[in-house]
Chain A
Amino acid sequence: MDNVVLARALFGSSMAFHIIFATLGVGIPFMVVFAEILYHTKKNKHYAILAKRWTKGFAIILGVAIPSGTIVGVMLSLLFPGFMEIVGKVIAVPFQVEIWAFMLEALFMSIYIYAADRLTPTLRIISVFFVALGASASAVLITDAHAWMNTPRGFDLVNGEVTNVDPIAAIFSPSLYSTALHVLSSAYMTGAFVIVSLAAYKLLKRGSTKEERAYHHRSLMLALVVGGTLSLFTAINGHATAQMLHKYQPEKLAAAEGLFETTSHAPLAVFGVANPETGEVEGGIEIPWALSFLAGNSFDTVVKGLNEYPQELWPPLYIHTLFNIMVVIGGFLIVLAFGVLAWRYVLKKSLPRWMLWVLVSSGALSMIGIETGWIFSCTGRQPWTIYHMQLTKDAATKSDNLPTLFFMFIGIYVVLLFLTAFVLRFYFKRHPVSKDLTPDTPILEDEGVNTNG
């Protein structure tokens, strides 16, 4: 493998690893805020226990999110020095402000966990609110850099030199709003669906007490309402994101939909494989005119096809599949969440076991949506790192030590994935809910994920 491919593979895998923990790091504090607020309005102890247990899990996850984030942050400079040189001159501000957001999150996270017993209820809500705010702000800020890579603004390249820098124009690049909204809402929905999965799994267990079932049921319903609402929101602004692609990155949209010829009344292809020889999507389902409507809200919108561009500037065609997976998951989770809520609250029936099993899958599905969405977006930008400005091969490192490093990093990621799952399981096995639910356990009892002193 050549250097550029290895650098891309190493960076992409590191991001794919980081994003698992990072997304939960954004999504779970969001859920904790809801639980804390519900506890103080409804005074039901279950919500306080939920907040406490989610926070414990979150603290373990953060232990991986932070160093893996440090890795990707530093790795950008190691693997893509050419890219970082431009970043430093043009779009350094969001990276810098992101540090403030991290600090805000880390400070209040420690305060929320380790000083819980010394805080008034209002200060507790304030600190968990700042944790969630810090995490969300850092997601928006890093997305800002990503949006700028897709729709670069605020500088000119003259003979490879950066000139005419306008940091404000770079920060507010045209794709910022749609992309940031989409990233935030998909992270919140993933946090919620992971909770749905856990609660549904616990409800499937036989032999738990009535109180435990009531507790898990509360958790399930809260997470379903949040997850359902946000998945709807995600789909709606995903639509806006697709229109952004239509306007600013037509090659990416064309590859995502397997469209080769520029045309109005373009069809939407679902599944199938785009074949560059025939210029068609083979084996998929075609919905006539739908793509034109998607791109411009009217059937006679002209959508650009790949043939408008020289083939060496096409993104890889398999991003069609990645895009499909994300959209199908999004659609399925909307139907699932609202279906189950209607079943429970409109038909007033209890949830059968098969339905709970389907719900168990929602967290993993949502995470797959995140992964495919990101890989789609980053890979769909190829061969550019900065769209129409810098090619990936000019951004990548020329150093030749990558193969060993690649295997070392992948190895450690695999080990840590298993270890983290094991530690989370171990922790919650040793601290079952039944213990928290007994009336005499203080909710703020200080044990476990804090000091071992």
Chain B
Amino acid sequence: MAESTIAILLVWVIVFVYSILGSVDFGAGFWGMLFGNREGSNAGALANRFLSPTWEVTNTFLVMVVIALVGFFPTAIAMLGTALLVPVSLVLLLLLIRSTFMVYAYSSRKYGKELNIVSGVTGLLIPGLLLSILPISLGGFIDINPEGVPELHFGRLLGSVTLWAHLGFGLTTELFLASLFLSDYSSESGDRSAYLLYRKAALWLGPFTLFFAVITTFTFVPEAQWIRDGIEENFLWFIFSVLAFIFGYSALLWRQGDGTPGVPRVAFTAIIIQYAFASIGYGLSHMPFIIQPYLTVEEGFTDPATFRALLIAYIVGLLILGPAFYLFWKLFLKDKRYLRQE
């Protein structure tokens, strides 16, 4: 395998992990806000209990996406950085407001409700905005001006159907993944009423995500015809993906031994697999471009000596952090004492 292929594979893995973690994180913030003041239900508190120890770790993955791009594809980052100045700055501002207000809300119960609304709503917008990078990378929205500076046609982007389809896809995915995850989390915590609430939300949202995913492929601008060809070539992956969706969604309807509807662990796992298949298919269709038509994976690649040093850094980092992640998982996602707040 060429070194640049290994590099883009690593970037792909990191982006995939972040898109799942980020969806669950921002979505949980929104559910926490929505169900926060519901009488007689623990659903909001549960979402917040999950968020408290995890949002910092999730945020670190976002930074890792950027840093991985800087290290592996510095030319791409230089180009994207110039073109995406405005949209990414907006994401940064929202992120700053979201995280700080969330921490403020924990520290001041008196104003917790109002502060939570700010962080819930800003968090809702972030994944959609991040996803808008995808249509931009497909071509048609960036031009290189005569001085060699890449420029984003912001007006054209805002007026395009494809952007809004991507935003809708980002939004529904975020809420769907978060509600699925939280149904599993609440069932693990033994909180039946919260579980049923999140399961219901997941049941509603599931079809919408699939709808937006399919619709999005029909909205690609003419410049992005190449990715549609790519998708046709890699169609098998998308078939697998839909099958995984059907399996996972149906798991929400199965009955457990005690008559409780749905098996959330199976549903969540299958939906992750669905997204993994779809992203593999999308990633393969996107090759060889990072930004069509200006930059291919090969052209954007970093210096080989730096690449090898980074690879070593990754291996050492995983060895050190592996045990720490294990401890973290055991304490917050597994330990019944934390989940049930005994």
Contact = CB atoms under 8 A, between A and B. Distances in A.
Given A111-B327, A168-B309, A399-B85, A99 B64 contact: yes
B66 A74 contact: yes
B22 to A, nearest CB: 12
Interface stretch (A76-84, A206-214, A227-235, A347-355): A76-84
Contact of B60 (A79, A90, A106): A106
B99 A93 contact: no
Interface in B40-62: 42, 44-46, 48-49, 52-54, 56-57, 59-60, 62
- By size class, the interface of chain B is 35 or more
Interface stretch (A261-269, A288-296, A416-424): A416-424
Interface string B226-254: 00000000000000000000000000000
Consensus secondary structure, chain B interface: helix
A401 to B, nearest CB: 5
B88 A103 contact: no
A85 B321 CA distance: 28
A420 B321 CA distance: 31
B93 A397 contact: no
A93 B309 contact: yes
Interface residues of A, number: 76
Contact of B303 (A59, A89, A409): A89
Interface in A245-263: none
A74 B112 contact: no
B57 A110 contact: yes
Interface stretch (A45-53, A270-278, A325-333, A445-453): A445-453
Contact of A81 (B46, B66, B82, B302): B82
Interface in B15-68: 42, 44-46, 48-49, 52-54, 56-57, 59-60, 62-64, 66-68
Interface in B83-103: 83-86, 88-89, 92-93, 95-100, 102-103
Interface stretch (B73-81, B168-176, B257-265): B73-81
24 contacts: A59-B103, A64-B99, A66-B59, A70-B95, A74-B92, A75-B89, A81-B82, A85-B75, A88-B71, A90-B306, A95-B70, A99-B64, A102-B63, A104-B321, A111-B331, A165-B303, A412-B97, A448-B106, A449-B103, A450-B106, A451-B106, A452-B105, A452-B112, A453-B45
Interface of B: 42, 44-46, 48-49, 52-54, 56-57, 59-60, 62-64, 66-68, 70-75, 77-86, 88-89, 92-93, 95-100, 102-109, 112, 116, 147, 149, 151, 302-303, 305-306, 309-310, 313-314, 317, 320-321, 324-325, 327-328, 331-332, 335, 337-338, 341
